[in-house]
């Protein structure tokens, strides 16, 4: 094993171990897109557009809004548009080309669900450059990688010593939290 298990990325985000899976640098990889996100993105793009759009334009608009990080495939966009038509949320536009627009019901849906529309773009929002948080995540990732290595390839004696080290580390971390923000322990206050 060359590092921490993949499930840790779900807890700490992509690139927490110092690598950058998406190649974008800064410890950020490509955000995960859930199945329902294409639906919400299409609705929001159509809601903010001044004119009807065809599927290709919707794809381009999503890519533009995410700085090219997310460009859904036609195989996910066109069937979703068809589903939205079946639900009565979008309709063919009266233009000569194959374009769609929100229906009155679709506009009402988008306006009644602003959190859903905002949430679809949230994974692509620029995060402030927080070097301390990034460093913390990297150390966590490296530590977990070492734990996994000892657990999978260490001798019984090494695993036993690792358990002692981890127990001591856990106690010290909780002790750190027990200290007040100014670094004083609640036990260090004198009773009046």
Of the candidates 44, 11, 16, which has an alpha carbon nearest to the alpha carbon of residue 119? 44
What's the confidence (pLDDT) of residue 11? 56
What's the confidence (pLDDT) of residue 85? 93
What's the confidence (pLDDT) of residue 32? 57
What global pTM score does this model have?
A: 0.52
What's the confidence (pLDDT) of residue 17? 45
Q: Six-digit token pair at 65?
A: 């809004």
Q: Which residue matches tokens 């903010």?
A: 48
Each residue's pLDDT, cut to its tens digit, for the chain (192 residues) gives: 455 555 555 555 555 444 444 433 344 455 556 555 899 999 999 999 989 999 999 999 998 988 888 888 899 999 999 999 999 999 998 876 789 999 999 999 999 999 988 888 888 876 655 667 667 777 887 888 888 888 888 899 999 999 999 999 989 988 888 887 766 655 554 444
What's the confidence (pLDDT) of residue 162? 93
What's the confidence (pLDDT) of residue 192? 42
DSSP string of 65-101?
A: HTTTS----HHHHHHHHHHHHHTTSEEE-SSSSS-EE
8 near 136, Cβ under 8 Å? Answer: no
């Amino acid at each position: 094993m060359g590092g921490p298990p993949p499930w840790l990325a779900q807890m700490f985000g992509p690139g927490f171990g110092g690598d950058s899976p998406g190649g974008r640098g800064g410890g950020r990889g490509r955000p995960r897109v859930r199945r329902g996100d294409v639906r919400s993105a299409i609705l929001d793009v159509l809601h903010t557009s001044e004119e009807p759009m065809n599927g290709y334009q919707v794809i381009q608009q999503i890519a533009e809004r995410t700085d090219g990080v997310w460009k859904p495939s036609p195989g996910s966009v066109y069937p979703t548009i068809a589903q939205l038509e079946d639900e009565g949320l979008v309709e063919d536009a009266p233009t000569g080309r194959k374009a769609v627009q929100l229906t009155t019901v679709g506009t009402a849906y988008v306006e009644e669900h602003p959190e859903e529309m905002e949430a679809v773009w949230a994974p692509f929002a620029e995060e402030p450059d927080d070097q301390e948080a990034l460093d913390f995540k990297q150390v966590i990732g490296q530590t977990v990688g070492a734990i996994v290595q000892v657990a999978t390839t260490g001798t019984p004696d090494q695993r036993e010593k690792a358990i002692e080290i981890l127990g001591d580390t856990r106690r010290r971390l909780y002790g750190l939290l027990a200290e007040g923000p100014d670094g004083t322990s609640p036990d260090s206050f004198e009773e009046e």
